[in-house]
Structure 1
Protein backbone atom coordinates (compact mmCIF):
# COMPACT_ATOMS: atom_id res chain seq x y z
CA UNK A 1 0.00 0.00 0.00
CA UNK A 2 1.25 3.50 -0.76
CA UNK A 3 1.91 5.69 2.27
CA UNK A 4 2.56 9.36 2.91
CA UNK A 5 4.41 10.79 5.89
CA UNK A 6 2.79 13.87 7.42
CA UNK A 7 4.15 15.92 10.31
CA UNK A 8 2.08 16.32 13.44
CA UNK A 9 -0.51 17.61 14.27
CA UNK A 10 -1.62 17.30 10.64
CA UNK A 11 -1.39 13.48 10.54
CA UNK A 12 -3.59 13.13 13.61
CA UNK A 13 -6.10 15.62 12.22
CA UNK A 14 -6.36 13.47 9.07
CA UNK A 15 -6.78 10.30 11.15
CA UNK A 16 -9.54 11.99 13.20
CA UNK A 17 -11.31 13.00 9.96
CA UNK A 18 -10.99 16.68 10.89
CA UNK A 19 -8.61 17.45 8.00
CA UNK A 20 -9.90 16.30 4.61
CA UNK A 21 -7.26 17.86 2.34
CA UNK A 22 -3.52 17.28 2.72
CA UNK A 23 -1.63 20.17 1.13
CA UNK A 24 1.65 19.49 -0.61
CA UNK A 25 4.10 21.31 -2.89
CA UNK A 26 3.75 18.46 -5.39
CA UNK A 27 0.98 16.53 -7.11
CA UNK A 28 0.72 12.76 -7.46
CA UNK A 29 -0.88 10.51 -10.05
CA UNK A 30 -1.64 7.91 -7.36
CA UNK A 31 -5.32 7.38 -6.61
CA UNK A 32 -6.64 4.75 -4.25
CA UNK A 33 -5.62 3.33 -0.90
CA UNK A 34 -3.04 5.27 1.08
CA UNK A 35 -1.66 4.86 4.60
CA UNK A 36 -1.31 7.97 6.75
CA UNK A 37 2.02 7.99 8.58
CA UNK A 38 2.87 10.44 11.38
CA UNK A 39 6.46 11.55 11.08
CA UNK A 40 8.73 12.34 14.02
CA UNK A 41 8.38 16.11 13.65
CA UNK A 42 5.71 18.12 15.47
CA UNK A 43 4.76 21.66 14.43
CA UNK A 44 4.32 22.94 17.99
CA UNK A 45 3.24 26.42 16.83
CA UNK A 46 0.44 24.91 14.74
CA UNK A 47 -0.85 23.13 17.85
CA UNK A 48 -1.56 26.58 19.33
CA UNK A 49 -3.73 27.79 16.44
CA UNK A 50 -7.21 28.05 18.00
CA UNK A 51 -8.99 25.89 15.40
CA UNK A 52 -6.34 23.16 15.69
CA UNK A 53 -6.10 23.30 19.48
CA UNK A 54 -9.90 23.07 19.73
CA UNK A 55 -10.03 20.05 17.40
CA UNK A 56 -7.30 18.24 19.34
CA UNK A 57 -8.92 19.02 22.72
CA UNK A 58 -12.26 17.76 21.42
CA UNK A 59 -10.58 14.40 20.81
CA UNK A 60 -8.84 14.28 24.20
CA UNK A 61 -5.40 15.49 23.09
CA UNK A 62 -4.32 18.15 25.57
CA UNK A 63 -0.72 18.72 24.50
CA UNK A 64 1.49 18.21 21.45
CA UNK A 65 3.55 15.66 23.40
CA UNK A 66 0.56 13.29 23.32
CA UNK A 67 0.59 13.06 19.52
CA UNK A 68 1.83 9.70 18.18
CA UNK A 69 4.99 9.88 16.07
CA UNK A 70 6.77 7.45 13.80
CA UNK A 71 3.66 5.36 13.14
CA UNK A 72 0.87 4.59 10.71
CA UNK A 73 -2.28 6.19 12.14
CA UNK A 74 -4.94 5.61 9.50
CA UNK A 75 -5.83 4.35 6.06
CA UNK A 76 -7.67 6.47 3.51
CA UNK A 77 -8.56 6.71 -0.14
CA UNK A 78 -6.84 9.41 -2.18
CA UNK A 79 -9.63 10.38 -4.57
CA UNK A 80 -8.46 13.59 -6.23
CA UNK A 81 -5.67 16.15 -6.31
CA UNK A 82 -6.52 19.84 -6.60
CA UNK A 83 -4.18 22.58 -7.77
CA UNK A 84 -4.45 25.70 -5.62
CA UNK A 85 -4.91 29.08 -7.24
CA UNK A 86 -5.05 32.52 -5.61
CA UNK A 87 -6.41 34.64 -8.50
CA UNK A 88 -6.66 37.77 -6.34
CA UNK A 89 -3.22 37.40 -4.75
CA UNK A 90 -1.97 35.88 -1.48
CA UNK A 91 -4.70 37.46 0.66
CA UNK A 92 -7.53 36.75 -1.79
CA UNK A 93 -9.88 33.84 -2.27
CA UNK A 94 -8.63 30.29 -2.70
CA UNK A 95 -9.56 28.41 -5.86
CA UNK A 96 -9.24 24.66 -6.38
CA UNK A 97 -8.87 23.03 -9.78
CA UNK A 98 -9.25 19.22 -9.96
CA UNK A 99 -6.41 17.57 -11.83
CA UNK A 100 -8.76 14.62 -12.52
CA UNK A 101 -11.95 16.27 -13.73
CA UNK A 102 -10.90 19.85 -14.49
CA UNK A 103 -13.66 21.05 -12.16
CA UNK A 104 -12.88 24.42 -10.57
CA UNK A 105 -14.41 25.93 -7.48
CA UNK A 106 -13.69 28.79 -5.14
CA UNK A 107 -13.37 28.03 -1.45
CA UNK A 108 -17.00 28.96 -0.84
CA UNK A 109 -17.02 28.13 2.85
CA UNK A 110 -18.02 24.47 2.39
CA UNK A 111 -15.22 23.44 4.77
CA UNK A 112 -14.69 26.54 6.94
CA UNK A 113 -11.99 25.16 9.24
CA UNK A 114 -10.09 23.35 6.49
CA UNK A 115 -8.41 26.61 5.53
CA UNK A 116 -6.57 26.60 8.87
CA UNK A 117 -5.42 23.01 8.39
CA UNK A 118 -3.17 23.40 5.37
CA UNK A 119 -0.91 25.60 3.27
CA UNK A 120 -3.08 27.04 0.52
CA UNK A 121 -0.54 29.25 -1.23
CA UNK A 122 -0.82 29.68 -4.99
CA UNK A 123 0.76 26.81 -6.92
CA UNK A 124 0.42 24.19 -4.18
CA UNK A 125 -1.74 21.03 -4.28
CA UNK A 126 -4.47 19.63 -2.04
CA UNK A 127 -4.86 15.87 -1.89
CA UNK A 128 -8.46 14.86 -1.20
CA UNK A 129 -8.57 12.07 1.39
CA UNK A 130 -11.86 10.19 1.71
CA UNK A 131 -13.00 7.07 3.58
CA UNK A 132 -10.47 7.68 6.37
CA UNK A 133 -10.32 4.88 8.94
CA UNK A 134 -8.27 5.51 12.06
CA UNK A 135 -6.36 2.47 13.30
CA UNK A 136 -7.21 1.29 16.81
CA UNK A 137 -3.50 1.41 17.67
CA UNK A 138 -0.75 3.22 15.75
CA UNK A 139 1.63 0.83 13.96
CA UNK A 140 5.30 1.83 14.34
CA UNK A 141 6.92 2.50 10.98
CA UNK A 142 9.80 4.52 9.62
CA UNK A 143 8.58 7.12 7.15
CA UNK A 144 10.13 8.37 3.94
CA UNK A 145 9.97 11.36 1.66
CA UNK A 146 7.49 11.33 -1.23
CA UNK A 147 5.09 8.41 -1.55
CA UNK A 148 6.49 5.14 -0.29
CA UNK A 149 5.40 1.54 -0.03
CA UNK A 150 4.21 0.29 3.34
CA UNK A 151 3.85 -3.42 3.87
CA UNK A 152 1.14 -4.06 6.45
CA UNK A 153 1.95 -6.93 8.81
CA UNK A 154 -0.49 -9.80 8.45
Structure 2
Protein backbone atom coordinates (compact mmCIF):
# COMPACT_ATOMS: atom_id res chain seq x y z
CA UNK A 1 0.00 0.00 0.00
CA UNK A 2 1.66 3.16 -1.15
CA UNK A 3 1.13 6.68 0.11
CA UNK A 4 -0.60 7.48 -3.17
CA UNK A 5 -3.61 5.33 -2.21
CA UNK A 6 -6.49 7.68 -1.46
CA UNK A 7 -8.31 7.05 1.81
CA UNK A 8 -11.72 6.43 0.18
CA UNK A 9 -10.14 3.67 -1.96
CA UNK A 10 -9.15 1.52 1.01
CA UNK A 11 -11.56 -1.08 2.37
CA UNK A 12 -11.28 -3.89 4.89
CA UNK A 13 -12.58 -7.44 4.98
CA UNK A 14 -12.94 -9.63 8.05
CA UNK A 15 -12.13 -13.31 7.56
CA UNK A 16 -12.66 -16.07 10.08
CA UNK A 17 -9.62 -17.97 11.18
CA UNK A 18 -7.76 -19.94 9.88
CA UNK A 19 -8.62 -18.27 6.55
CA UNK A 20 -7.14 -14.89 7.49
CA UNK A 21 -3.87 -16.63 8.43
CA UNK A 22 -3.95 -18.70 5.24
CA UNK A 23 -4.06 -15.45 3.32
CA UNK A 24 -1.54 -13.51 5.43
CA UNK A 25 0.99 -16.31 5.98
CA UNK A 26 0.21 -18.77 3.21
CA UNK A 27 -0.81 -19.10 -0.40
CA UNK A 28 -4.52 -18.28 -0.18
CA UNK A 29 -5.31 -15.53 -2.70
CA UNK A 30 -8.97 -16.37 -3.33
CA UNK A 31 -11.63 -15.43 -0.80
CA UNK A 32 -14.97 -17.15 -1.27
CA UNK A 33 -18.12 -15.13 -0.64
CA UNK A 34 -21.82 -15.58 -1.33
CA UNK A 35 -21.93 -12.07 -2.79
CA UNK A 36 -20.06 -10.08 -5.38
CA UNK A 37 -18.46 -6.64 -5.23
CA UNK A 38 -17.58 -4.08 -7.85
CA UNK A 39 -14.86 -2.65 -5.61
CA UNK A 40 -11.27 -3.04 -6.81
CA UNK A 41 -8.32 -1.77 -4.82
CA UNK A 42 -6.51 -2.07 -1.50
CA UNK A 43 -8.12 -4.19 1.20
CA UNK A 44 -6.99 -4.57 4.80
CA UNK A 45 -7.24 -8.25 5.76
CA UNK A 46 -8.78 -8.50 9.23
CA UNK A 47 -8.63 -11.71 11.27
CA UNK A 48 -11.98 -11.98 13.00
CA UNK A 49 -12.65 -13.43 16.43
CA UNK A 50 -14.46 -16.47 15.00
CA UNK A 51 -12.78 -19.79 14.26
CA UNK A 52 -14.29 -21.77 11.38
CA UNK A 53 -14.68 -25.21 13.01
CA UNK A 54 -15.23 -26.83 9.59
CA UNK A 55 -11.62 -25.97 8.75
CA UNK A 56 -10.42 -28.87 10.91
CA UNK A 57 -11.75 -31.22 8.23
CA UNK A 58 -9.98 -29.50 5.32
CA UNK A 59 -6.40 -30.48 4.40
CA UNK A 60 -5.60 -26.98 3.06
CA UNK A 61 -6.38 -25.44 6.46
CA UNK A 62 -4.47 -27.85 8.70
CA UNK A 63 -1.06 -26.10 8.52
CA UNK A 64 -2.65 -22.87 9.75
CA UNK A 65 -4.44 -24.59 12.63
CA UNK A 66 -1.07 -25.64 14.06
CA UNK A 67 0.30 -22.10 14.43
CA UNK A 68 -0.85 -19.14 16.53
CA UNK A 69 -3.78 -17.41 14.88
CA UNK A 70 -4.18 -13.70 15.52
CA UNK A 71 -7.77 -12.72 16.18
CA UNK A 72 -9.39 -9.33 16.21
CA UNK A 73 -6.53 -7.74 14.24
CA UNK A 74 -5.42 -6.53 10.83
CA UNK A 75 -2.86 -9.07 9.59
CA UNK A 76 -2.21 -8.08 5.97
CA UNK A 77 -2.93 -5.68 3.13
CA UNK A 78 -3.73 -6.89 -0.36
CA UNK A 79 -5.16 -5.64 -3.62
CA UNK A 80 -8.54 -6.96 -4.75
CA UNK A 81 -8.20 -7.28 -8.53
CA UNK A 82 -11.20 -9.35 -9.58
CA UNK A 83 -14.46 -10.86 -8.41
CA UNK A 84 -16.14 -13.53 -10.50
CA UNK A 85 -18.50 -16.44 -10.25
CA UNK A 86 -17.11 -19.94 -9.98
CA UNK A 87 -15.55 -20.79 -13.33
CA UNK A 88 -13.94 -24.09 -12.35
CA UNK A 89 -10.44 -22.73 -13.11
CA UNK A 90 -9.41 -20.78 -10.04
CA UNK A 91 -7.27 -22.43 -7.36
CA UNK A 92 -7.47 -25.10 -4.71
CA UNK A 93 -8.77 -22.35 -2.42
CA UNK A 94 -11.88 -21.81 -4.57
CA UNK A 95 -15.26 -23.05 -3.41
CA UNK A 96 -17.85 -24.05 -6.03
CA UNK A 97 -21.03 -21.99 -5.99
CA UNK A 98 -19.33 -18.97 -4.40
CA UNK A 99 -18.04 -15.68 -5.76
CA UNK A 100 -14.26 -15.76 -5.98
CA UNK A 101 -12.51 -12.60 -4.84
CA UNK A 102 -8.99 -12.56 -6.31
CA UNK A 103 -6.20 -10.84 -4.37
CA UNK A 104 -2.64 -9.92 -5.38
CA UNK A 105 0.21 -7.78 -4.02
CA UNK A 106 -0.21 -9.15 -0.52
CA UNK A 107 1.86 -7.62 2.26
CA UNK A 108 1.80 -9.28 5.66
CA UNK A 109 2.06 -6.89 8.59
CA UNK A 110 5.17 -7.37 10.74
CA UNK A 111 2.84 -7.57 13.73
CA UNK A 112 -0.94 -7.94 13.90
CA UNK A 113 -2.68 -4.63 14.53
CA UNK A 114 -5.57 -5.08 17.01
CA UNK A 115 -8.81 -3.61 15.70
CA UNK A 116 -12.48 -4.56 15.79
CA UNK A 117 -13.84 -5.92 12.54
CA UNK A 118 -17.18 -5.61 10.82
CA UNK A 119 -19.40 -7.49 8.41
CA UNK A 120 -19.12 -7.09 4.67
CA UNK A 121 -16.56 -4.96 2.89
CA UNK A 122 -16.12 -2.19 5.43
CA UNK A 123 -14.50 1.21 5.35
CA UNK A 124 -11.60 1.56 7.79
CA UNK A 125 -11.10 4.78 9.70
CA UNK A 126 -8.31 7.16 8.69
CA UNK A 127 -6.68 6.32 12.06
CA UNK A 128 -6.59 2.61 11.19
CA UNK A 129 -5.17 3.28 7.73
CA UNK A 130 -2.47 5.49 9.25
CA UNK A 131 -1.62 2.77 11.80
CA UNK A 132 -1.31 0.14 9.06
CA UNK A 133 0.95 2.43 7.03
CA UNK A 134 3.13 2.96 10.11
CA UNK A 135 3.48 -0.80 10.72
CA UNK A 136 4.39 -1.35 7.05
CA UNK A 137 6.89 1.52 7.07
CA UNK A 138 8.70 0.09 10.10
CA UNK A 139 8.82 -3.49 8.78
TM-score (norm. length: structure 1): 0.70
Q: What is the aligned partner in structure 2 of residue 81 from structure 1?
A: 83
Partner of 1:147: 121
> Which structure ranks higher in relative contact order (CA pairs < 8 Å, sequence separation ≥ 6)?
1
Match of 2:55? 46
CA distance in 2, matches of 1:9, 1:48: 12
Deviations 1:70-97 (A, max 9, x none): 000000000000112xxxxxxxxxx2xx
- Find the residue that maps to 2:39 and give its secondary structure: coil
Residues 77-127 of structure 1 deviation map (CA, whole Å, 9 limit, x = unaligned): 00000112xxxxxxxxxx2xxxxxxxxxx42xx73x324xxx322xx2110
Task: String of CA shifts for 1:5-56, please: whole Å, max 9, x gaps.
Answer: 0101111111124111101011111101000001100013303422321x32
Tell me, yes or no, if the aligned pair for 1:31 and 1:79 is still in contact at 8 Å.
yes
Aligned length: 119
User: Is the CA contact 2:19–2:61 (under 8 Å) kept in the aligned structure 1?
Assistant: no
Q: What is the root-mean-square deviation in Å for CA atoms of aligned residues?
A: 1.8
Q: Of residues 62, 66, 81 in structure 2, which corresponds to 1:62?
A: 66
Instruction: Tell me, yes or no, if structure 1 residue 114 matches structure 2 residue 90.
Output: no
Matches within 5 A, 1:4-19: 4-19=13-28
Higher normalized helix content (fraction of residues): 2
TM-score (norm 2): 0.77
